[in-house]
A and B are shown apart, each in its own frame.
Chain A
Amino acid sequence: MLDLSKYQSIGAALKDAVEVFAGEVCLIEADRDRENHRLTYRQFRDQAMPVARALQDKGFDAAGRAAIIMTNQSKWLIAAYAIFYSGGVLVPLDYKLTADEQWQLLKHSNASVLITEYPIWRQLSGAPGRAEATALQTVIVTEAPPNPDLAGALRWESVNSAVDSGNGAAPEFRARTRKDTATIVYSSGTGGRPKGCMMTHENYLEQCVALTSLYPFAPGMRYLSILPTNHAIDFMVGFFGPFICGAAVVHLRTLRPEYVREAFPKYKITYVSLVPLVLKNLQKGLQTRFDALEPGKRKAFNALVALNKMLTKSRPRLGLSRRLLKQVHEAFGGELRAIIVGGAFTEPQTLQFFYDLGIPVANGYGLTEAGTAITVNDLKPFRADTVGKPLPGMEVRILNPDAQGIGEVSVRSKTVMSGYLNESELSAEAIVDGWLMTGDLGRFDATGHLQLFGRKKNMIVTEEGKNIYPEDVESVFESLPVKEFCVFAANYVWPARTMVGEHLVLVLHLEPGQTLTNELLQEITARNHRLLNYKRIRGLVVVDEDFPRTASMKIKRNALAERLSKLDRSHAVVEV
């Protein structure tokens, strides 16, 4: 592993990594049962340099902003390398957003370059947002068919010849400092005020040191990249972390469960990151197979699981578990060290299921604003009921603890973002005297493990790791024929000591004399169904008082929530 204390930027560290580990396998990309390619670090660099050259020839400045909207694949990392090499700021955007949402964020980020895949560009170029993203000058598309209309974009494969490559000189490496912005990562706000977290080079360098101290990478290890790479976790453990250690990243162009399952034994995967939804799906599949065992085999299997559980009580013993539960481990390739789970809270029962099989699950807690992870389970011993201990370098404190010691989790660390792009007010609310207010409620147990109990903030997180803010779904109910309405996270109004099963409620104040008719209910249901299923409201609350408002007529959400909290939740909320 490179000594990251010696580096000022992601670009400088990556530049050295491709030299130091030149002959090691760096990327493997597969499509179903076919391997597309396998690149060493040297070959990776050779593919990235022309992209950097092309960006610079197109006038991409140091500190210029370049967005990537791609599915998980080699070119994502090649493009990111070229951007950092050129001293640029990377804006990783979620490929699962709609074209309108992507344009909104492209505009907000002021990106001058976009690197994307042809099918995504086809949708983007057909959407109306382009005219407003005035800073965007260069678009490079991958996977374009032979003769498409590229709507002004450049083809990735011909990027060398499509631009003025000057005298063919190598691109210039542009140094950055630790305090410079490295990325702008959107944590939310596609329907409201976009929250673009400005992450510095220092944030990543420090986080990487902390994470690899617990979960180290080395040449020969292989990380299977499934979580979108724009996600803070995959960016760290599916790109920067393995690269500065000389490990390999495996990309699958098809993320269907059958091919993901095959990838584990085929590529001898060491680590993988999953969201709770996928982990639970995996658990369900395994449980079905265990339940199908004939009684005798089932009994023997249960006995082995019980023995493994006993022998790994104080710490994981991978070698032992792999021998005891050979078939299970062989299905995962036999070299899996841990499943990293993140993006949302994972139920302890699911974590325990895997640990009992001898597969540690590195569960933790974090948020984009804090530079990925704040706490991670150190497995000494494994604690399914907590989200682990603070990572090295993280100061974590509980603000205003109640009688049970539960209060708001706040964090101070070199990994905390510098602020939200163009949102000084929001930034000042989020970071107070150097402490990041997470909005999550927790407490430390006697052994220093953090336990989470709910949220103080008005939002929900789904099992797919999606952060949903009420403000972002309200637009679908605009002009609803009622006096006024507002959306809340139910647990924000009626605090609940849970991090799972969260949902949104729509609060309605009807016009005088108006009643909640079937027609109105149908209208609400129809509008609700315009939202993706995980964004939908699950309940209705009807109130008969005017919403409290500011002088500028904005709803005072906190005051309204306080008023609602006096209602009995079980009676006030009507399920929809």
Chain B
Amino acid sequence: MRTVEQTTQEVLDLAARHFQVAQGSLAPDDDFFKKLGINSLQALELLSRLENHFGIELPDYEVQGVSDFRTLAARIQSRL
């Protein structure tokens, strides 16, 4: 079982790869819309990729209003 810190790190790494930014340039408390300059459609793409990676389903409504990596990772963690 991953720890929440491990999950958070994996979320950050995967987001960096997906949006082609430097590994390590993203931090847990970053707002991913602002930091990555992405729109809602691009955020949905990231969610699909995270679901595949962690092997879970994360309903859209469960992450509604979530915009930072730390909270996103916590939502994922609760479903692992």
Residue contact A95 to B41, C-beta cutoff 8 Å: no
Q: Is the CB of B48 within 8 A of A533?
A: no
Q: Is B37 an interface residue (CB 8 A)?
A: yes
CA–CA, A73 and B60, complex, Å? 12
CA distance A119 to B64 in the complex (A): 7
Min CB–CB distance B53 → chain A (angstroms): 15
Q: Which of A129-137, A251-259, A334-342, A356-364 contacts B (4 or more CB under 8 A)?
A: A251-259
Number of contacts between A and B (CB, 8 Å)? 59
Partner of A281, one of B41, B57, B62: B41
In the complex, what distance in Å separates the CA atom of A464 from the CA atom of B39?
Answer: 9
Q: Is the CB of B60 within 8 A of A277?
A: no
Cα distance A277–B39 in the bound complex, in angstroms: 10
Whether A258 pairs with B48 at a CB distance below 8 angstroms is yes
B58-72, CB < 8 A from A: 59-65
B27 to nearest A CB, angstroms? 13
Closest to B38 in A: A533
| Interchain CA distance A117-B35 in the complex, whole Å | 27
Q: Does A46 make an interface contact (CB < 8 A)?
A: no
On whether the beta carbons of B60 and A95 are closer than 8 Å, the reply is no
A31 at interface by CB-CB < 8 Å: yes
Q: Which residues of B contact A31 (CB under 8 A)?
A: 59
CB of A531 within 8 A of CB of B61, answer no
Q: What sequence of 0s and 1s flags, for each residue 23-37 of chain B, a beta carbon within 8 Å of any chain A beta carbon? A: 000000000011101
Question: B21: CB under 8 A from chain A?
Answer: no
Cβ contact of A534, chosen from B39, B64, B65, cutoff 8 A = B39
Q: Please name all residues of chain B whose beta carbon is closer than 8 Å to the beta carbon of A532 when the two chains form the complex.
A: 33-34
Nearest A residue to B59, CB-CB = A253
How many Å from the CB of B75 to the closest CB on chain A? 9
Contacting residues of chain B (8-57) with chain A, CB-CB under 8 angstroms: 33-35, 37-41, 44-45, 47-48, 57
Chain A 266-300 against B: per-residue CB contact (8 Å), 1 yes, 0 no? 00000000000110010000000000000000000
A464 in contact with B40 (CB, 8 Å): yes
Query: Which residue of the partner chain B has the closest CB to A124?
Result: B65
- Rounded to whole angstroms, the CA-CA distance of A404 and B49 in the bound complex is 51
Q: A95 to B38: give the CA distance in the assembly, Å.
A: 18
Given A257-B44, A464-B40, answer yes or no on A117-B33 (Cβ-Cβ < 8 Å): no
Q: Decide yes or no whether A261 CB sits under 8 A from chain B.
A: no
* A99, A281, A531, A533: the one within 8 Å of B65 (CB): A99
Q: How far is the CA of A532 from the CA of B33 in the complex (A)?
A: 7
* Residues of chain B contacted by A71 (CB below 8 angstroms): 60-61, 64
Give, as a whole number of angstroms, the nearest-CB distance from B78 to chain A.
10
CA distance A278 to B57 in the complex (A): 23
Residues of A in contact, count (CB < 8 Å):
29
CA distance A258 to B47 in the complex (A): 12
Closest residue of chain A to B48 (Cβ to Cβ) is: A256
Please state if A530 and B34 are interface contacts (CB–CB under 8 Å): yes
Contact A120 B34 (CB under 8 A): no
Q: Does A15 contact B (CB under 8 A)?
A: no
Q: Are B62 and A119 in contact (CB under 8 A)?
A: yes
- Report yes or no: A256 in contact with B47, Cβ–Cβ below 8 A: yes
**Complex formed: what's the CA distance from A32 to B60 in Å?**
11
Judge whether B61 and A143 touch: CB under 8 Å: yes
In the complex, what distance in Å separates the CA atom of A530 from the CA atom of B67? 12
A98 within 8 A of B: yes
A529 interface residue, CB < 8 Å from B?
Answer: yes
Judge whether A119 and B34 touch: CB under 8 Å. no
B64–A533 contact, CB under 8 A?
no
Give per-residue flags for A216-260: 1 if the beta carbon is below 8 A from chain B beta carbons, else 0: 000000000000000000000000000000000000011111100
* Measured CA separation A55–B25 after assembly (Å): 50
Please report the C-alpha to C-alpha distance between residue A254 and residue B51 in the assembled complex, in whole angstroms: 13
Is the CB of A327 closer than 8 A to any CB of chain B?
A: no
A534 to B60, CA, bound (A): 21
Report the minimum CB–CB distance from A250 to chain B (whole Å). 15
A115 to B3, alpha carbons, bound, how many Å? 35
Report the nearest A residue to B60, measured CB to CB.
A254
Contact B61 A117 (CB under 8 A): yes
Q: Establish whether residues B34 and A533, one from each chain, have CB atoms under 8 Å apart when the complex forms.
A: yes
Q: Is A302 at the interface (CB under 8 A from chain B)?
A: no
Name A119's contact: one of B38, B47, B65 (CB within 8 Å). B65
Report yes or no: B64 in contact with A277, Cβ–Cβ below 8 A: no
Q: Which residues of B contact A531 (CB under 8 A)?
A: 34
Q: Does A123 contact B (CB under 8 A)?
A: yes
Q: In the assembly, what is the distance between CA of A256 and CA of B63, in Å? A: 13
- Let me know if A529 and B40 touch, CB within 8 A: no
Judge whether B65 and A120 touch: CB under 8 Å. Answer: yes
Q: How far does the Cβ of B63 sit from chain A's closest Cβ, in whole Å?
A: 8
Among candidates B38, B41, B63, residue contacting A257 with C-beta atoms closer than 8 Å:
B41
Residues of B within 8 A of A278 (CB): 41
Contact (Cβ within 8 A) A255 B44: yes
Contact B41–A277 (Cβ < 8 Å): yes
Q: Chain B's nearest CB lies how many Å from the CB of A272?
A: 15
Chain B residues whose C-beta falls within 8 Å of the C-beta of A281 in the assembled complex: 41
Please give, as numbers and ranges, the residues of chain A lying within 8 Å of B61 by CB-CB distance.
71, 73, 117, 119-120, 143, 253
Report Cα–Cα, A73/B65, bound state, in Å: 17
Q: Across the A-B interface, give the 8 residue pairs with the lowest CB-CB distance, nearest first.
A: A533-B37, A256-B44, A123-B65, A71-B61, A254-B60, A529-B34, A256-B48, A119-B62
Please list the residues of chain B having a beta carbon within 8 angstroms of any beta carbon in chain A.
33-35, 37-41, 44-45, 47-48, 57, 59-65
**26 pairs of residues in contact across A and B, judged by CB atoms under 8 Å:** A31-B59, A32-B57, A71-B61, A73-B61, A95-B64, A96-B64, A98-B65, A117-B61, A117-B64, A119-B61, A120-B65, A253-B59, A255-B44, A256-B45, A256-B47, A256-B60, A257-B45, A258-B48, A278-B41, A281-B41, A464-B40, A529-B35, A530-B34, A533-B33, A533-B34, A533-B37
